[in-house]
Amino acid sequence: MTDDLCSRDAYLTTCDATVTEVTDEGVVLDRTVFYARGGGQPGDTGTLRWDGGEAHVADTYRSRESGKLVHGLSDDSAAPAPGTAVTAEIDWDRRHTIMRTHTALHSLSGIVYTDYGAKVTGGNMEAGGLARMDFELDAISQEFGREVEDKLNISLAEDHPVHVSFLPRAQALADRDLIRTKANLIPESVDPIRVIDIEGIDRQADGGTHVRSTAEVGRVRVVKTESKGKANKRMRIELVDP
Ligand SMILES: [Zn+2]
């Protein structure tokens, strides 16, 4: 198992590691700062460097076959041999924008739930500060989008701290907030469950990377509201300053 450093510290940009395996899919390391795509968050890109070579990581993901965390290389990169000591470094600007976007999305879901009682039905992020989130709402309008945008920006500017914690599974499943966000659907093998708490705004089980406090997100714009069916309405957001 790769030691997944960013699950504990999202601000690590680089680490030393050893290549444990090279497969058709890419390079497996004993430890890494790269985030494997999941939970609507894109996988990291970056570079592996070693004595005499380097390779560009075009995407990071979990292998569907083995479940291993794989650094997928760009077509023009050759993989380092198993046993090679490497320095792994993520494209930090890209990742930091994604972290800000992810924290914005959780804040949005907390506000829509608290003020309008609507749960999230889905969500996704892109690199570059764009994201969408779907809600169990019967109707949505541009006015609603503007109202939510104002509330979201006020909340973000209040600079709420963001906490990462690991809760024993039994304790997580007894928690109302976490049940709301469907922590009970997390595979039974996952214990403890990782929790992201945006103090006073939103608390949910989540594997992604987030900023330390909401002021770091900056301002957010609601760019589109649209219907995706009955009780399923979508909001598209973007960071004003990605
Ligand atoms: Zn999330």
Residue 118 is given by DSSP the state: P
Distance 108 CA to ligand 1 centre (A): 11
Mean pLDDT of 96-105: 98
Both structure tokens of 37: 């795509």
Q: 159-172: per-residue pLDDT in tens? A: 999 999 999 999 99
Distance 106 CA to ligand 1 centre (A): 6
User: Which pLDDT score, from 0 to 100, does residue 133 have?
Assistant: 97
Distance 64 CA to ligand 1 centre (A): 21
SS3 of residue 60 by DSSP = strand
pLDDT value at 176 more than 90: no
Q: 39-61: per-residue pLDDT in tens? A: 999 999 999 999 999 999 999 99
Instruction: Tell me how far apart the alpha carbons of residues 208 and 8 are, in angstroms, rounded to a whole number.
Output: 10
Q: Up-side HSE of residue 192: CA atoms within 13 Å toward CB?
A: 10
User: Which pLDDT score, from 0 to 100, does residue 32 have?
Assistant: 98
Contact call for residues 2 and 68 (beta carbons, < 8 A)? yes
Mean pLDDT of the chain: 96
SS3 of residue 124 by DSSP = strand
- For 176-211, letters b (16+ CB in 10 Å) and e give ebbeebebeebeeeeeebbbbbbeebbbbbbbbbbb
Distance 209 CA to ligand 1 centre (A): 8
Instruction: Tell me how far apart the alpha carbons of residues 57 and 72 are, in angstroms, rounded to a whole number.
Output: 6
pLDDT value at 179 more than 80: no
Using the Cα atoms of residue 10, residue 12, residue 13 and residue 16 in order, give the sign of their dihedral. Answer: negative
Distance 107 CA to ligand 1 centre (A): 10
Residues measured by CB to lie within 5 Å of ligand 1, the ion: 206, 208
Mean pLDDT of 188-210: 94
User: Which pLDDT score, from 0 to 100, does residue 180 have?
Assistant: 77
User: Which pLDDT score, from 0 to 100, does residue 188 have?
Assistant: 87
Distance 118 CA to ligand 1 centre (A): 17
**pTM for this predicted structure:** 0.96
Instruction: Tell me how far apart the alpha carbons of residues 116 and 118 are, in angstroms, rounded to a whole number.
Output: 6
Both structure tokens of 75: 């077509």
User: Which pLDDT score, from 0 to 100, does residue 152 have?
Assistant: 98
